[in-house]
Amino acid sequence: MNALTVCLVLCAAVTAGTWLASVLTHEHSWVDRIWSIAPIAYVWIFAAGDGFSPRLVLMALLVTAWGARLTFNFARKGGYRPGAGEDYRWAVLRGRMPGWAFALFNIGFISLYQNALILAFCLPAFTASGSATPLGVWDVALAVVFVAFLVGETIADQQQWEFHRWKQTERAAGRTPVPGFLQTGLFRISRHPNFFFEQAQWWVFYGFAIAATGVWLHWTIAGAALLTLLFICSTVFTESISRSRYPEYDDYRRRTSMLVPWFPKAPQPSAQPVG
């Protein structure tokens, strides 16, 4: 059985397991719980299938570092606690959909599509396996950029973690946190810097397939492209919730880039009274 077949079988088993767990527990974030773990398994399977070649081992080590960091961040937010780890957006979506429609959404999108996507953005490792091109300077450059994006995501998540802890402290003291959403640090130049860095790492990961084959465009680009599409759709939905909670969020949207870090626009001047 080759590495791709093993990964497909594993993906099918994980998909069935996460769907069954969501039905039995009435929580719908089981894919979130394996999001940072399954890619490590997939890429190391491809590395083993390639005889642990230097490029595949490097790719697997980078994904392991990515997964360890993301798992830690998800765990400290309570993502693995029974009954407390569900993404708040699923509750909002359940309230907007009939029960039967959400059940189909759970099967088709949450379980099937997201698990297939996780395997898809790991497939550049399959493309890179078996390459006769030795590990070179482009692989080293890609690894450095991957780590830089990993550091950026770590900083963004830490800033978000500290902000939400401050909000909890304010509420525990009977005060209303102002502002209600993070607008400083990396969140001053991007509304979702953690989302940007997450996607960027998987585009860099696709770059290893280019370095291995010398071909710029091949089918395994689909994983990174579909991940970006997912993040854009998810961001639009997330921001619709934020806009309903915080009237000032629209001004933040006007002056701050959605994903790609960029210089913020100047605040709009306050209207002056006439006469």
Tell me what the mean pLDDT of segment 244-253 comes to: 93
Q: Taking the domains of the chain in order of start, what are their residue ranges?
A: 3-255
- Per-residue model confidence (pLDDT) at position 87: 74
139 in Cβ contact with 232 (< 8 Å): no
Give the Cβ contact number of residue 169 at 10 Å: 11
Could you identify the residue written with the tokens 């961040």?
73
- Per-residue model confidence (pLDDT) at position 275: 45
pTM of the model: 0.91
DSSP labels, 217-235? --TTHHHHHHHHHHHHHHH
The tens digit of pLDDT for each residue in 183-232 reads 999 999 999 999 999 999 999 999 999 999 999 998 999 999 999 999 99
Burial of 240 (0-12, 13-18, 19+ CB in 10 A): exposed
The tens digit of pLDDT for each residue in 38-93 reads 999 999 999 999 999 999 999 999 999 999 999 999 999 988 887 666 777 777 88
DSSP labels, 114-182? HHHHHHHTTTHHHHHTT--SPP-HHHHHHHHHHHHHHHHHHHHHHHHHHHHHHHHHHHHTT---SSSS-
